[in-house]
Amino acid sequence: MTSFHPDRRVEELLRRLAPAVLATLARRHQGFDMCEDAVQEALVVAAERWPVDGVPGNPKGWLVTVASRRWIEVWRSDAARRRREQTAAGEMMTAPDAASASTVDRDDSLTLLFLCCHPTLTLVSQVALTLRAVGGLTTAEIARGLLVPEATIAQRITRAKARIRDSGTRFTMPDDAERPARLAAVLRVLYLVFNEGYTATSGARLHRVELSAEAIRLTRQLRAAQPGEGEVAGLLALMVLTDARRAARTTPAGGLVPLPDQDRSRWDQALIAEGSALLTGTLPTSTIGPYQVQAAIAAVHDEARSATDTDWPQILGLYDILLTMAPGPMVTLNRIVAVAMVHGPEIGLRALDVAEPALGGQHRIAAVRAHLLDLADHPEKAREQYELAARTALNLPERHYLESRARRTAR
């Protein structure tokens, strides 16, 4: 064994290994909820022993063995299960110690991701379970990231595991008939996780980098496993093209810097190149979907050397396409901004008045109206709308930005 200090490095290693260990155990034993509990106990043992004894030469194999033995202990104590599965008991009792290195080293993370997005689960449960099982985040970290009480997250995860167990689902990839719907669910979960990390719904921070980074990592894995899926490439392109602007999106104090005011020299050119290459490689050969269209919009923004160089007619055309593919309040609002930039703010304001009844009462309606009124040189009306948007914004950096715009507009 090799020495491995400090303890924080052990914790980082365990976090990275946990999803792979869970995937291996779930494939071998099929009981997702029991496997997750067994892996958590193995991680606790490793966290106690490895800082003292050193990290094993094959840390994943060590964790799989310890977790498998714990799974067997629990299985043996369940008399009802033992009666139902006596035939399988002998195989399950010997399999962990007899497993070959190739079996332990097999990567089942993609299967685990699809399992966490099982159709019997609600969207919020899919998100929580994905972050816990595939992302390796603790319940407390997920709760902090989503701004939900830890007890609530724990309940969601417990219920999600029970639903998967009760559905009788085995640890296998969905078949050809089911795969498109399951892939769509996986992409939606990853998209929501990224968006919550990039612009937090509420709280004191604009970004929750732990969530957006995890979404990008998982989408990279999905892309590597399914290189022919255009929407997987589109989602990854959208994420990296958007995340490329993150460093320029806040002040040193954490305040919001809107896209037109950002220092574009701080944008990550490597991520922009990666996203552009993904789009170039997938658009000519795959069926175009909403993630690819959104990525194309992000690419147009990223390619502009300054805000005034932005190709707004192209963006408006892309939003017209997106609106037919995936209509929704945010698509409508963003398209209205593009309309205003192409045809003038007064036209945009009229479009907003027409669309508002179908948009719901979110604060971004007032924020868009304020922006368009500002462009149309109606400062007093703009100030009122900025103040209205600020009162309903739950994210503090957004609220402070809207308040600052109201003060500036009033001058």
Residue 400 clears pLDDT 70, i.e. is over it: yes
Assess if residue 118 is contained within a domain: yes
pTM of the predicted protein model: 0.78
- Give CA separation, 10 vs 48, 137, 191, in Å: 10, 15, 30
Nearest-angstrom CA–CA distance, 411 and 406: 9
Beta bridge partners of 250: 256
Which has the closest alpha carbon to 116: 127, 106, 105, 102?
Answer: 127
Q: Determine what percent of the chain is predicted with pLDDT higher than 70.
A: 89
Residues 91 and 146 in one domain: no
Which has the closest alpha carbon to 46: 30, 31, 59, 36?
Answer: 59
Assess if residue 401 is contained within a domain: yes
Instruction: Assess contact for 21 and 64: CB atoms under 8 A.
Output: yes
Residues ≥6 apart with Cβ < 8 Å to 234: 278, 279, 282, 289, 290, 291, 292, 293, 294, 295
Angle between helical axes of 379-392 and 396-410 (0-180°, round to 10)? 160
Q: Which of 47, 78, 106 is at the close of a domain? A: 106
Number of domains in the chain: 4
Assess if residue 320 is contained within a domain: no
Assess if residue 372 is contained within a domain: yes
Give the number of other CB atoms < 10 A from CB of residue 125. 23
Please write the tens of the pLDDT for every residue from 319-372.
999 999 999 899 999 999 999 999 999 999 999 999 999 887 666 899 999 999
Give mean pLDDT, residues 380-405.
92
3-state secondary structure of 286: coil
Please write the tens of the pLDDT for every residue from 270-328.
999 999 999 999 988 889 999 999 999 999 999 999 999 999 999 999 999 999 999 98
Kindly report the backbone phi and psi dihedral angles of residue 171, in degrees, each rounded to the nearest multiple of 5, phi listed first: -80, 80
Please write the tens of the pLDDT for every residue from 220-241.
989 998 899 999 999 999 999 9
Structure tokens at 334: 């963003």
Residues 99 and 112 in one domain: no
pLDDT of residue 82: 53
Give the number of other CB atoms < 10 A from CB of residue 269. 11
Assess if residue 212 is contained within a domain: yes
Residues 199 and 120 in one domain: yes
Q: Which of 284, 310, 336 is at the close of a domain? A: 310
Q: Count of residues for the chain?
A: 411
Please write the tens of the pLDDT for every residue from 106-130.
567 778 888 888 888 888 888 888 8
Domain residues for the domain of 366 are 327-411
In angstroms, how far is the first alpha carbon of the chain from the final one? 68
pLDDT confidence bin for 4, thresholds 50/70/90: very low
